[in-house]
Chain A
Amino acid sequence: MEDWRRIDIDAYEPENHLSKEELIPDLPPTSQADIVAVSKQVRSALSSGQFVEALALALDSAPYIADEATKNLHSETIFEILCSIKNNHNINDLSSFVKKLDSSQQDTLVKYLYKTMDTSYGQKQGGLLLSWFEKTIEVTGLGPIVRFMSDRRTV
């Protein structure tokens, strides 16, 4: 018998296949202009020392339905906040920032930590990302990691 594992059995049943488009969550799209506006707001909040507000704002406005450039722009904004918080505070204070976020913001934070680890600028600051990750998971437990892997609303 030929190698039956390689037979494309879907070809025999052309109907009712799930397409990638159907798995995209039903959410309004975010434009690049929105994200640029958010990054400006974030920068002004950071310069006036409102770190928690900046982080919460950025995490709440995460673009799920947007092109890659927009998504990358937003993850750079979040990375900027994380660096800025780290540079202005003791490493042990990171937990208190995480605790001030609500549970969906914490989930989004972990998504961005993973995403940033995959970028060249994030890899240069690996220590910073890992300490954020450690402090976040200490507060939240494993849930956000599971949701990073299973959530179809990707950042």
Chain B
Amino acid sequence: MSSPIVYQLGNLPIKDHVFSPDHSLLAVTKDNTVEIYQVNQSNLGVKPKLFTTLAGHDKTVTSVDISFDGTRILTCSQDRNALVWEYDSAAGEYKPTLVLLRISRAATVCKWSPDGQKFAVGSSDRIIAVCYYEQENNWWVSKHLKKPLKSTITSLSWHHNGVLLASGSTDGHVRVFSAFIKGLDEKPEPTPWGSKLPFQTLCGDFINETGAWIHDVAFSPDGNSLAFVSHDSSVGIIYPDGEGLPPRSIINVKTNYLPFKTLVYLTNNKIVVGGHNCNLIVFEGDENDWKETRVIESQKDLTKETPAAGDDDEEEISSHQALNMFKQMDLKGRLNKPSPGGNGKVLSTTHQNTIASIREFSGNQVSTSGIDGKIVIFRV
């Protein structure tokens, strides 16, 4: 297995990231802005070059997405707004267009539909805003999915038909809605989720066994199943059986890691998840059973770590390191002599903090972003 490609882009947390479909651009969220990097497609080992910074939000940017053709960048933020950025080649910069979300609390997540005609924004206002472009007004307008939402939306995923929309929320529910916009969408083919789909139809409502927060949801590539990760360190997969019928099977795989934050449904039989354990875990299976098959990086168990035997030569250490040494002795009874230049304890994984988002990069690669400010491309 080849080693992962790591980009350290500053030290600020990267909540969300996205590569453009041709991998020429990389967008990452940083505080109130989104940074756009140019990626060297022929040699990914070269660190991406900062191209521009999109500054249009007043509060933390929570999510970023690029449309399938790579022309439009969508951002949403805790300032209750979503912006659509388009490149203006005459001015040589990205120009934002404000979207009328009509929500009164933070926007938490935004996703383009597969055809790029519309997008959905989840919020802590118990609303999902489905937005589309109105030609006559030259404006992005939104329709609200409200019922029966009663809690913060943490995650969204579009079905490949561009009509069904899955959401995960903090009340432990995973719901599937129809986001059919009359006059914009073609009538979709019937799916196991339902066939008659006017806007706001609730096609499925599932609750996690423990009722813990749902952190991420994703449709399978064929659209016939739905996976979610929740704060109880489990992965769930739902297989529907048709309109009005209880699902054919719901599989819940419990693990003994720290909770998962994010997942990608890579193929119909393979899911990759990541989260607070700073590592990626691969699950494989079908509607009969799913199993954890491997972890991407070998990981030392921090609860069983023993202090490394230090060498005895006297070297000068900085006051900061000395302070840390005494802190360790005081709090943990550990006698670790700091090494000059070293930064003390590191995790055995590439990510040094929570993995905040995973995206599919190519058929067998995924990209991850973390609270440690790293973007990493793993082969899985």
Q: Which residues of A contact B (CB under 8 A)?
A: 9, 13, 16-18, 22-23, 25-26, 103, 107, 137, 140-144, 146-147, 150-153
Contacts and interface: CB of A to CB of B under 8 A. Distances in A.
Interface in B325-345: none
A127 B254 CA distance: 29
Contacts of A16: 126, 146, 149-150
Contacts of B151: 18
B171 interface: yes
A152 B212 contact: yes
Contact of B211 (A25, A107, A142): A25
Contacts of A142: 233, 256-258, 303
Interface residues of B, number: 25
Main secondary structure, interface of B, reads loop
Contacts of A152: 172, 210-212
A9 B103 CA distance: 13
Contacts of B172: 23, 152
A28 to B, nearest CB: 15
21 contacts: A9-B105, A13-B104, A16-B150, A18-B171, A22-B150, A22-B171, A23-B171, A23-B211, A142-B257, A142-B303, A143-B255, A146-B232, A147-B212, A147-B232, A150-B212, A150-B213, A151-B210, A152-B210, A152-B212, A153-B210, A153-B211
Contacts, number: 62
Contacts of B213: 150
Nearest to B172: A152
A17 B150 CA distance: 6
B171 A141 contact: no
Nearest to A12: B104
Interface of B: 104-105, 126, 146, 149-151, 171-172, 207, 210-213, 230-233, 254-259, 303
B150 A18 contact: yes
Given A141-B256, A143-B257, A150 B150 contact: no
Contacts of B146: 16
Given A150-B232, A152-B172, A143 B256 contact: yes
Contacts of B303: 137, 142
Nearest to B304: A138
A25 B257 CA distance: 24
Contacts of B231: 146, 150
Contacts of A153: 210-211
Nearest to A18: B150
Nearest to A19: B150
A23 B303 CA distance: 33
A37 B230 CA distance: 35
B210 A140 contact: no
Contact of B212 (A13, A26, A143, A151): A151
